[in-house]
Amino acid sequence: MTNVLLLVICRLVHLLTFCYYAQVTNQSSPNFTQHVSEQSRVTDRVSRRLIRMYQLYSRTSGKHVQVLPNKKINAMAEDGDVHAKLIVETDTFGSRVRIKGAETGLYICMNKKGKLIGKKNGQGRDCIFTEIVLENNYTALRNAYYESWYMAFTRKGRPRKGSRTRQHQREVHFMKRLPKGHQHAQPVHHRPFDFVHYPFSSRTKRTRFSSEH
């Protein structure tokens, strides 16, 4: 009788275990796309921020975006202009960045009217832009606070209101360019590997040559 009871108990335990496993496996898998999207909107205060310097070439004006001391932003600068040098700071794990003029220290921001302005304090979400690489290899910069508004300039280099912008428009297309005279510069933290070169003596060279052959 005892053996029969133990057998019944074991079968009940197996049945309950199977039911629990089936319930767990039938649950929906985590939405990793949504997770990545949410994490890319959270400011990264842990990792070391990547800082780059480049110019933004406007597809429509044929000139470069510049941040002027009077807090005005336009795309009328020539290649290598001191006000066209931009410092770009990463804000999240994703592709959100803060952009400021290297000369003025003013951040490019967007106000509630969709106008681009320069600000000393660039901590607000209105001063954060998401870099979007387009199929034509140009880059679009979408504001993080006004999510359907883009940085854009007319053919004359004047800023276009964000409320009138769309991703497919030429006015929102930019090309990143290194500042004039920095074509061969490569920041250390951009290198995938850093090799240490040790000096070789004549004996070291002979040993290396014999081992290779």
pTM of the entire structure? 0.66
In the chain, where the domains are located: 51-180
Residue type, 13: V
Dihedral of CA 142/146/148/152: which sign? negative
- pLDDT confidence band for 156 (50 / 70 / 90): very high
- pLDDT confidence band for 8 (50 / 70 / 90): low
Largest CA distance in the chain: 96
Q: What is the CA radius of gyration of the chain?
A: 28
Residue type, 7: L
Q: Containing H/E element for 52?
A: strand 51-58
Highest mean pLDDT: which range of 28-42, 62-76, 83-97: 62-76
Contact by Cβ (8 Å): 122, 101 = no
Q: Measured between alpha carbons, how far is 70 from 116 in angstroms, rounded to an integer?
A: 12
Query: 51-180 has which fold?
Result: Trefoil (Acidic Fibroblast Growth Factor, subunit A) (2.80.10)
The pLDDT of residue 106 is 98
Q: 């009871």: which residue's tokens?
A: 5
